[in-house]
């Protein structure tokens, strides 16, 4: 297994490509980068290929196709999911005495409804980048043998479903009603 502390994006990349301000402490963001990679990226790629890419970064053995994949597809996806996952926590501080909301005298905290609205917008963008990655992987699976042929003992198999509309309507008779989450909409590679 590759080093678990591999990051596919830096905090500089994250701040340059999302709405996170430069003054946000990097140490607040790094744990979310790791979580996003383990949760969202590993699910999109499958454990075998995910671990292969991490090992390739550590050992500097990535192919040109793998480097392009990380730069052109993975980094944007990881950045948007990191923004999404970190949003509820950026203005809160967890200490051994309490969970408190940080505030400055020149700002007003957002309401819960405003935060939910913003997170939904960020989630839409993150899901777009996930779908873009999974579509690219399906269309170009032959370039990535570890993706196409995962180990038999793969921990988490790849999942090409990237959107969740909150409602799933299975196909019903001739009307063929389905949601965005219908398995027949996704590629099977």
Q: What is the pLDDT along the chain (189 residues), one digit of tens a residue?
A: 444 699 999 999 999 999 999 999 999 999 999 999 999 999 999 999 999 999 999 999 999 999 999 999 999 999 999 999 999 888 777 778 777 677 777 777 788 899 899 999 999 999 999 999 999 999 999 999 999 888 766 666 666 554 455 555 555 555 555 444 444 445 566
Counting the structural domains of the chain, the total is: 1
Report H helices in the chain.
Answer: 11-17, 26-36, 42-45, 47-59, 64-69, 75-86, 112-139, 145-148
Residue ranges making up the domain that contains 49: 11-93+110-185
Say what the pTM is: 0.80
5 assigned to some structural domain? no
100 assigned to some structural domain? no
């Amino acid at each position: 297994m590759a080093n678990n502390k591999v990051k596919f994006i830096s905090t500089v990349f994250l701040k340059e490509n999302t709405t996170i301000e430069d003054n946000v402490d990097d140490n607040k963001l790094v744990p979310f980068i790791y979580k996003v990679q383990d949760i969202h990226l590993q699910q999109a790629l499958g454990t075998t290929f995910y671990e292969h890419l991490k090992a390739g970064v550590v050992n500097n053995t990535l192919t040109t196709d793998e480097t392009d994949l990380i730069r052109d597809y993975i980094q944007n996806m990881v950045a948007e999911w990191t923004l999404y996952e970190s949003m509820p926590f950026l203005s809160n501080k967890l200490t051994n005495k309490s969970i408190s909301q940080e505030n400055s005298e020149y700002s007003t905290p957002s309401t819960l409804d405003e935060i939910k609205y913003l997170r939904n917008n960020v989630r839409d963008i993150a899901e777009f980048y996930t779908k873009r990655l999974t579509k690219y992987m399906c269309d170009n699976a032959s370039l990535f043998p570890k993706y196409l042929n995962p180990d038999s003992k793969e921990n988490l198999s790849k999942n090409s479903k990237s959107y969740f509309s909150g409602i799933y309507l299975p196909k019903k008779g001739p009307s063929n009603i389905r949601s965005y989450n219908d398995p027949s909409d996704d590629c099977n590679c």
